[in-house]
Chains A and B, each alone.
Chain A
Amino acid sequence: MEKALLYKEWKKTRLFTLGIAAVGIILLGYIMLKMGRSFRMVGMEHLWDVVVNRKQFLFRSLKYFPIAAALCLGMAQYFPEVIQKRIKLSLHLPLPERKVILLMYGYGLGILLGIYLLQLVGLLVFSTINFPYEFTSSTLKTIAPWYMAGIITYLFVAMVCLEPVWKRRAFNGLLGIAIVYLFFLSDVPSAYQPVLYILLVTLIAVFPFGFLSVQRFKEGTQD
Chain B
Amino acid sequence: MQPIVQCKNLTHYYGKRCIYENLNFEIPKGRILGLLGKNGTGKTTTINILNGYLKPRSGECLMFGENSSNLSPETKQKVGLLIEGHVQYPFMNIHEIEKYYSAFYPQWKKEAYWELMKLLKIDPKQKLSQMSCGQKSQVALGLILAQDPELLILDDFSMGLDPGYRVLFVDYLSEYARAEGKTVFVTSHIIQDMERLIDDCMIMDYGSILFQKPVAELLQSFKRFRFSGNGQIFEDIKQVIHPVTIKGNTEFYSFEKKDELARILTYTGFNPTDIKEESLSLEEAFIGLTGKY
Residues of A within 8 A of B (CB): 1, 3-4, 7-8, 11-12, 80, 84-86, 88-89, 91-96, 217-220, 222
Cβ contact within 8 Å between B96 and A93 = no
Cβ contact within 8 Å between A7 and B100 = yes
Cβ contact within 8 Å between B55 and A85 = no
Interface residues of B in 33-78 (CB under 8 A from A): 48-49, 51-55, 69, 73-74, 76-77
Residue with the highest number of chain B CB atoms closer than 10 Å, among A1, A94, A220: A94
Cβ contact within 8 Å between B92 and A11 = yes
A89 surroundings in chain B (CB, below 8 A) = 83, 87-89
Instruction: Given contacts A86-B89, A88-B81, A220-B55, list 13 more A-B pairs with CB under 8 A.
Output: A11-B96, A80-B90, A80-B91, A85-B87, A88-B53, A88-B87, A91-B53, A92-B79, A92-B81, A94-B105, A219-B54, A220-B48, A222-B14
Residue of B nearest to A80 (CB): B91
B49 surroundings in chain A (CB, below 8 A) = 220
Cβ contact within 8 Å between A88 and B51 = yes
Taking the complex as formed, is B85 at the interface, i.e. its CB lies under 8 A from any CB of chain A?
Answer: yes
B119 surroundings in chain A (CB, below 8 A) = none
Cβ contact within 8 Å between A94 and B100 = no
Residues of B within 8 A of A (CB): 14, 48-49, 51-55, 69, 73-74, 76-77, 79, 81, 83, 85, 87-92, 96, 99-101, 103-105
Q: List 25 A-B contacts (CB under 8 A).
A: A4-B99, A4-B104, A7-B100, A8-B92, A8-B100, A11-B89, A11-B96, A84-B83, A84-B85, A85-B83, A86-B87, A86-B89, A88-B53, A88-B83, A88-B87, A91-B52, A91-B53, A92-B81, A93-B73, A94-B74, A95-B73, A96-B73, A218-B52, A220-B48, A220-B49
Cβ contact within 8 Å between A1 and B87 = no
B52 surroundings in chain A (CB, below 8 A) = 91, 218
Residue of A nearest to B86 (CB): A84
Residue of A nearest to B73 (CB): A94
B48 surroundings in chain A (CB, below 8 A) = 220
Cβ contact within 8 Å between B53 and A220 = yes
Residue of A nearest to B90 (CB): A80
The listed residue (B76, B77, B103) touching A4 by CB distance below 8 A is B103
User: Given the interface contacts A88-B51, A93-B76, A95-B73, does A8 sit within 8 Å of B87 by beta carbon?
Assistant: no
How many angstroms between the C-alpha atoms of A84 and B87 in the bound complex?
A: 7
How many angstroms between the C-alpha atoms of A4 and B81 in the bound complex?
A: 19
Cβ contact within 8 Å between A220 and B89 = no
How many angstroms between the C-alpha atoms of A8 and B91 in the bound complex?
A: 9
Q: Closest Cβ of chain A: how far from B127's Cβ, in Å?
A: 10
Residue with the highest number of chain B CB atoms closer than 10 Å, among A86, A88, A92, A222: A92
A93 surroundings in chain B (CB, below 8 A) = 73, 76, 104
How many angstroms between the C-alpha atoms of A52 and B228 in the bound complex?
A: 103
How many angstroms between the C-alpha atoms of A81 and B65 in the bound complex?
A: 30
B79 surroundings in chain A (CB, below 8 A) = 92
B88 surroundings in chain A (CB, below 8 A) = 89
Q: Closest Cβ of chain A: how far from B122's Cβ, in Å?
A: 18
B85 surroundings in chain A (CB, below 8 A) = 84
Cβ contact within 8 Å between B55 and A219 = yes
Q: Closest Cβ of chain B: how far from A196's Cβ, in Å?
A: 39
How many angstroms between the C-alpha atoms of A85 and B91 in the bound complex?
A: 15
B101 surroundings in chain A (CB, below 8 A) = 4
